[in-house]
Amino acid sequence: MSQTAAPREGEQRCKIIAAAERLFREIGYQKTTVADIARALGMSPANVYRFFGAKSEINQAVGRQMMREVEEALREIALGPGSASQRLFDLVTANEAMNAARYVSDRKLHDMVEAALTENWPIIAEHIGNVDACLELVIESGVKSGEFAPLDPKLGARLVHTACIRYCHPRLLVECADHAVPSSAQMIDFCLKALRNGR
Question: How many CA atoms within 13 Å lie on the side-chain side of 19?
Answer: 21
What is the b/e burial string over 96-110, where b = at least 16 CB atoms within 10 angstroms of the residue's CB? bebbbebbbeeebbb
Q: Is the dihedral of CA 51, 52, 55, 61 positive or negative?
A: negative
pLDDT in tens, 77-86: 999 999 999 9
- Fold type of domain 59-197: Tetracycline Repressor; domain 2 (1.10.357)
Give the residue range(s) of CATH 1.10.10.60 domains in the chain: 1-53
CATH code 1.10.10.60 for 1-53: yes
3-class state of residue 125 by DSSP: helix
Q: Where in the chain are all domains bearing CATH 1.10.357.10?
A: 59-197
Residue 2 pLDDT greater than 50, yes or no: no
88-129 pLDDT, tens per residue? 999 999 999 988 887 777 777 778 887 888 888 888 889 999
